[in-house]
């Protein structure tokens, strides 16, 4: 099973700032990496798949990058509605595994 | 617009079987998409349970395989989850979701339903 490790666990940020979240895989994923956003009490929402492709309706301030085992989600200018927990997920191998999440909170 | 809605008991006794149904609306379950179940223990991360195609082909998480059954009723546009011999560690929010055509990732989710295992 591929282990996904996200860092940091928590990020304290002010609105308008640029945010970078990291996700590391225990083995190479090719391009089979997705990011989700989960707000409190809600289901996760797909943000990015294929490392860098935004899902339908996702604003351009969200971008993904990386390759192999190192991946990044960037939010160019954090807005109030972006405070949430972010998860990466590999779907290169079954079972697909998720990182433990990064919580983006208001500074 | 694809919508998914989980339903089932919110409380299950230890050693019993957890049973949930996911009703899909706005999209035919008989499509090129697979359909999946994921769970999230309170305050913790996400875990795959398994997924199914409308033909009945399925795939389960190896750690749950001996206890899980996912089935589909295409005539009702719904699919179901059964998890047997539950214990307190199975307490979680259970989500059903549509699997993207881009891979085994989830592009539409239900709201989730909390299932507590307790006597």
Is A92:A2 a contact under the CB 8 Å cutoff? yes
B interface test, pick of A46, A57, A92 with most B CB neighbours within 10 Å:
A46
A interface test, pick of B36, B39, B46, B93 with most A CB neighbours within 10 Å:
B46
Q: Do A94 and B59 touch (CB under 8 A)?
A: yes
Q: Do A44 and B62 touch (CB under 8 A)?
A: no
pLDDT for B18 equals: 98
Q: pLDDT, tens digit, for every residue of A44-69? A: 999 999 999 999 999 999 999 999 99
Q: What is the DSSP string of A36-88?
A: EEE-TTS--EEEEETTTEEPTT--TTEEEEEETTEEEEEESS--GGG-EEEEE
Q: What is the distance between the alpha carbons of residues B37 and B69, in angstroms, rounded to a whole number?
A: 11
What's the mean pLDDT in B76-91? 98
pLDDT for B81 equals: 98
**Residue-averaged pLDDT of chain B:** 97
Q: Which of B62, B95, B105 is nearest residue A91 as measured by Cβ atoms?
A: B105
pLDDT for A17 equals: 96
Position A70 pLDDT exceeds 90: yes
The CA–CA distances, whole Å, from B75 to A4, B24, B30, B72 equal 38, 11, 9, 9
Q: What is the distance between the alpha carbons of residues B7 and B12, in angstroms, rounded to a whole number?
A: 13
pLDDT for A39 equals: 97
Q: pLDDT, tens digit, for every residue of B25-68? A: 999 999 999 999 999 999 999 999 999 999 999 999 999 999 99
Position A107 pLDDT exceeds 90: no
């Amino acid at each position: 099973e591929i282990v996904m490790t996200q860092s940091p666990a928590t990020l304290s940020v002010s609105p308008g700032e640029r945010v970078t979240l990291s996700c590391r895989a225990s083995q190479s994923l090719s391009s089979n990496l997705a990011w989700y956003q989960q707000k409190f009490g809600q289901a996760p929402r797909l943000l990015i798949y294929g490392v860098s492709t935004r899902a339908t309706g996702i604003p351009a301030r969200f971008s993904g990058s990386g390759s192999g085992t190192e991946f990044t989600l960037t939010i160019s200018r954090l807005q109030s509605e972006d405070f949430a927990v972010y998860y990466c997920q590999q779907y290169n191998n079954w079972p697909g595994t998720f990182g433990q999440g990064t919580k983006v909170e208001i500074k | 617009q694809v919508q998914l809605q989980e339903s089932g008991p919110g409380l299950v006794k230890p050693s019993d079987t957890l049973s949930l149904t996911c009703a899909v609306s706005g999209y035919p379950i008989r499509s090129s998409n697979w359909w999946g179940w994921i769970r999230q223990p309170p305050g913790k991360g996400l875990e795959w349970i398994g997924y199914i195609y409308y033909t009945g082909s399925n795939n389960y998480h190896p750690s749950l395989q001996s206890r899980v059954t996912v089935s589909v009723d295409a005539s009702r546009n719904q699919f179901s989850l059964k998890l047997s011999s539950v214990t307190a560690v199975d307490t979680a929010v259970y989500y059903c979701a549509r699997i993207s055509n881009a891979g085994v990732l989830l592009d539409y989710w239900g709201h989730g339903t909390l299932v507590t295992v307790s006597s």
